[in-house]
Amino acid sequence: MVYLDYNATTPVLPEALEAFRRAATEAFGNPGSGHAAGRRAREVLEEARRQVADLLGAQPEEIIFVSGGTEANNLALMGVALSRGSGHILVSRIEHPSVLEPALRLLEQGFSVDFLPVDGQGYVDPEEVRRRLKPETILVSVMLANNETGALQPVAEIARICREAGVLFHTDAAQAVGKIPVSVSLGVDLLTLAGHKMYAPKGIGALYVRRGIALSRIMHGAGQERGLRPGTEPVPLCAALGAAAEFALLDLPAEAERQKALREYLWEGLQEIEPQVVRHGDPDRTLPNTLSVAFPGRAASEILSRAEGLCASTGAACHDRRKALSHVLSAMGVPPELAQGTIRFSLGRFTTREDLDRALDLLNEALR
């Protein structure tokens, strides 16, 4: 098997797995309990919070543990909207469904919602954000890195425009954290990360909430996580996320460069076996691990079904069971015949050049 679908999910790091095991056996208490077992669990939980905060350049008290990126995005959008009661919200057309669906729900509830367009390479124009801001705008949400194309949005510039206008800015950074250096110094007010995109287990994520930002809870229960995420904290999962965050800090820039070199090696190989192949996006403004390409006149699903043993995605994995064209490629104006032939290859820490050679052999056979 050749696994080139790291944007869908990542394998769990041994360091994260060991942190999970240790916490599950040595810190099994309820962190809300006052006895020794509870205090030990609380220590492990707060250490994990510090590790995640360090990765983002944030303060530990600004990190809220949640079940993953979907919950974090829902909490960011719904939490801001419910705390304000009314207002105008801006999101881009290429957001993950966990941003688009809450935005549509808020539209149904009487909020005003606009959807920002992207250009042919999949990028939001910051000046378009400025033009669409209104006196009643309460939130702008633009993802840092797109899950399908890897396009890196001009988040720092958008954040500055929002700050000048007194508007809160949220970025879904689930696809970026752990792949490139990401810091809240970008100027964001809220930031989403997902554990399983950065070599931690599924079922854990976090929302950065800048100090002083008021959110309404969207779940109701006890007072855990500043009252924003009720329920006994999953200490082993938090510990695993903390370990993955700490590991990422060790070599992130160097690992990003390694993956970028491998990505370009794959692109060159694809051009050799299929000269008509089309690349989506700007390689200089794309995640170092992500290559989205289209094979004109071909069906991506058929190519991958013939390339047995090659794991990649026809667009976003979240939509693989549906035949509808990718909303991201549609927003970019990609013709249907190219969208149908689009495959996303996403590399990771365990990808080698030998993996890519094998992938190219499988694709060559499939295309022939």
What is the spatial distance between Cα 71 and Cα 77, in angstroms, rounded to a whole number?
A: 10
Q: Phi, psi at residue 342, to the nearest 5°?
A: -90, 130
Three-state SS for 212?
coil
Quick check: helix, strand or coil at residue 345?
strand
10 Å CB burial of residue 34 (0-12, 13-18, 19+) is exposed
162, 238, 311, 318: the active-site residue: 318
In terms of Cβ atoms closer than 10 Å to its own Cβ (0-12, 13-18, 19+), residue 254 is exposed
Burial of 154 (0-12, 13-18, 19+ CB in 10 A): middle
Which residue intervals of the chain are DSSP H helices? 14-26, 36-56, 69-84, 97-108, 126-132, 155-165, 235-273, 300-306, 327-331, 336-339, 353-367
- 167 conformational bin, left if phi > 0, alpha if psi -120 to 50, beta if neither: beta
Q: Which residue has the tokens 């999962």?
A: 237
Q: By C-alpha distance, which of 208, 157, 167, 166 is closest to 55? A: 208
At 276, list the tokens. Answer: 């008509």
Backbone angles phi, psi at 13, to 5 degrees: -60, 145
Distance (Å, whole) CA 264 – CA 147: 18
Rounded CA-CA distance 64/76 in Å is 11
Token pair for residue 341?
């032939």
238 flagged as catalytic = no
Tell me phi and psi for residue 318, to 5 degrees. Answer: -60, -25
- What amino acid occupies position 365? E
Q: What amino acid positions are annotated as catalytic residues?
A: 318
